[in-house]
Chains A and B, each alone.
Chain A
Amino acid sequence: QITLKESGPTLVKTSETLTLTCTFSGFSLSTRGLSVGWIRQPPGRAPEWLASIYWDDDKRYSPSLRNRVTITKGSSSDQVVFSMTNMAPADTGTYYCARANTLESRPWIDWGQGTRVTVSS
């Protein structure tokens, strides 16, 4: 069974850096073709892709947020870490991590439950 779970702060202050961890089970990120990504969703709005990291350590970022976001594999092989700098109230929303399979051309197949992040001064 594949599971993903996001963890991190629920409240961050304006201009601070957000760091979230995705802890997953049921698959290995070293398996060819797999990737883990981060997607956020502001309240009442559509999801927005932020970043992805691939089995070969390739990393891709949303062009509009490239200067603010970083994705890395965690110190544990079952974790992916995401960070976003200079947080603002517009960054408030639910942040999800999700698994994709590039070789099968399948995008976000499995999702975490999401973690709500509020940005406030």
Chain B
Amino acid sequence: DIQMTQSPSTVSASVGDRVTIACRASQSIRDWLAWYQQKPGRAPKLLIYKASTLESGVPSRFSGSGSGTEFTLTISTLQADDFATYYCQHYNTDSRAFGQGTKVDIK
């Protein structure tokens, strides 16, 4: 099974900060990686797929990069609405594992 590991587990940041979240796959997944945002009591929301493609309607301050085993989600200028938990997910095999999550909270 492919394992996904995110770091850090928590990011404390302020509005206006640049935030970067890392995700590592236990073996190469090419670019079969998605990023989701989840707020308490809500379903996850797809932000990015194929490692770097922005889902329709998602603000351009979100961006994704990477391929193979190393991936990054960047929020260029953190907004109040961005405080949430972020998950990476490998897809396109029967593994489809999620990372353990990164919580972005208020500094």
Contact = CB atoms under 8 A, between A and B. Distances in A.
A and B are partners in one complex rather than unrelated chains: yes
B94 interface: yes
B93 to A, nearest CB: 9
Interface of A, secondary structure class, is strand
B44 interface: yes
Interface residues of A, number: 22
**Interface residue tally on B, bucketed by range:** 20 to 34
B87 A47 contact: yes
B67 to A, nearest CB: 14
B37 to A, nearest CB: 12
Interface in A90-115: 96, 98, 100, 105-109, 111-114
Given A63-B1, A105-B49, A107-B91, A96 B96 contact: no
A61 B94 contact: yes
Interface string B86-107: 0101011011111111000000
Nearest to A108: B46
Given A46-B87, A46-B101, A106-B55, A111 B94 contact: no
A111 B44 contact: yes
Contacts of B101: 46
A63 B43 contact: no
Interface in A30-70: 45-49, 60-64
A106 B46 contact: yes
Contacts of A60: 94
B100 to A, nearest CB: 5
A101 to B, nearest CB: 10
Q: Would you list the 3 A-B pairs with minimal beta carbon distance, nearest first?
A: A111-B43, A49-B96, A107-B91
22 contacts: A46-B98, A46-B99, A46-B100, A46-B101, A47-B44, A47-B98, A48-B98, A49-B89, A60-B94, A61-B94, A62-B96, A63-B94, A98-B43, A100-B91, A105-B49, A105-B50, A106-B49, A108-B34, A108-B46, A109-B46, A112-B43, A113-B43
